[in-house]
Amino acid sequence: MVALDRFVRAGFGATSVRELATSSGVTQPTLYYHYGSKDGILAALIEPFLADGDALLDRLESVRGGRYAVAREALEGYYDVLVAHLEVALLVENDRSVRSHPVAGHRLAAQAARLLDVLAGSQRPERRIPAAAALGAVRRPLRLVGIDPVRHRDRIVGCALAAMMAEAPSAH
């Protein structure tokens, strides 16, 4: 998709509708007719990502088992959503203007907070800190050049799960 490529290379905020139209080989009125605005184009790009994230969160509400089972299901599901929408996930991760977007950013932040709540299972810092570390351990390796997300799935999810389940060293 041309718009996604332009947003990734130049940034959402720095890309104009004129550039999108020119790159796509269509007129600006055509883009406005179909999407309403540049925000509408962004919404169309991230909607499948958000929909899959919401479906994962809905599914996680029915996961039964201990903390380990829930964490494994959540981290595997999160990884799979990120990989299925890797370019969009990287755009979100790398572009502050997307994360701070009045509509898209709000939905992304709400979904991230919901995932952290499910994974931590508590508001206590001793549960939320490892949960946040585990989510980062899933996301960050996907930014590395040369990482095959399919081949390295078990390793990445395993490291994230280890971060989630690790006990912090006691303070002396």
Residue 24 and residue 81 in contact, taking contact as beta carbons nearer than 8 Å: no
Q: Quote the pLDDT of residue 170.
A: 64
Q: Read off the tokens for 4.
A: 């996604």
Q: Quick check: 1 pLDDT over 80?
A: no
Q: Rounded to the nearest 5 degrees, what angle is found at the Cα of 64, between the Cα atoms of 58 and 69? A: 100
Residue 138 and residue 156 in contact, taking contact as beta carbons nearer than 8 Å: yes
Q: Quote the pLDDT of residue 50.
A: 96
Sorting pLDDT into bands at 50, 70 and 90, what band is 30?
very high
Q: Quote the pLDDT of residue 154.
A: 96
Residue 75 and residue 161 in contact, taking contact as beta carbons nearer than 8 Å: yes
149 closest CA partner among 82, 65, 55, 77: 82
Q: What value does the mean pLDDT take over residues 51-55? A: 97
pLDDT tens for 33-49 read 999 999 999 999 999 99
